[in-house]
Amino acid sequence: MAIQESERQFTGLRECLEDFQQRFNTNDRAKKLVKNWDRQIYVEPTDGGTPYTMKVDDQQLTTIEEGGPEPDDDFLVHLQATNDTLMEVFSGNYNPSTALLDGMMSVFSNDRDKVKLEACALVIWGM
C-alpha cells in the first residue's frame, strides 16, 4: 500500500530507518502504543545488506546501531527480508502485514509483539 504523501526516496536502509525513527518519536499515538514495551528490533537483510538493531526504550526509538542485537534477549523482535523489502516497509510503501502474507518478510517474535508492530505501522503510516 502506498503512503498518502509523495513517496520518499532513500539511498540506504539506515537512512530509511532514521526517517522511521523521527516519525515514530514524534507520533504521540505510536508512543502510547509502546508504553512499557522496551524491545530490541533486529532488522536483518537476507541478501547481504548491513543488519541494524533498533532499541525501543521508554516510549522512544532511541538507537539504530549497525550489527546484531545484545545476546540473550528473550523479547527480541527479529525482522528478515531483502534490503529493498525492508526499505519499502520502513518507508511506508509496503504494508508489513502484506509483506508477511506475500512471503516477502519474516518476523520472529511472540504474537503480542507482532500485533504491537502492526499497530505502530497503522498509526504511523495510516495503513
- Residue 100, pLDDT > 60, answer yes
Domain 13-125's class?
Answer: alpha beta
Domain boundaries, the chain: 13-125
Report how far residue 61's alpha carbon sits from residue 92's, in angstroms, rounded to the nearest whole number. 17
pTM of the model: 0.89
pLDDT (tens digit, 9 = 90+) per residue, 56-96?
A: 999 999 999 999 999 888 899 999 999 999 999 999 899 88
Of the candidates 56, 53, 55, the residue with the CA atom closest to the CA atom of residue 33:
56
Instruction: Could you list the beta-strand ranges (E) of the chain.
Output: 39-45, 52-57, 60-66, 77-81, 105-108
* Res 3: pLDDT: 42
Report how far residue 71's alpha carbon sits from residue 31's, in angstroms, rounded to the nearest whole number. 26
Categorize the per-residue pLDDT at 25 as very low, low, confident or very high, splitting at 50, 70 and 90.
very high
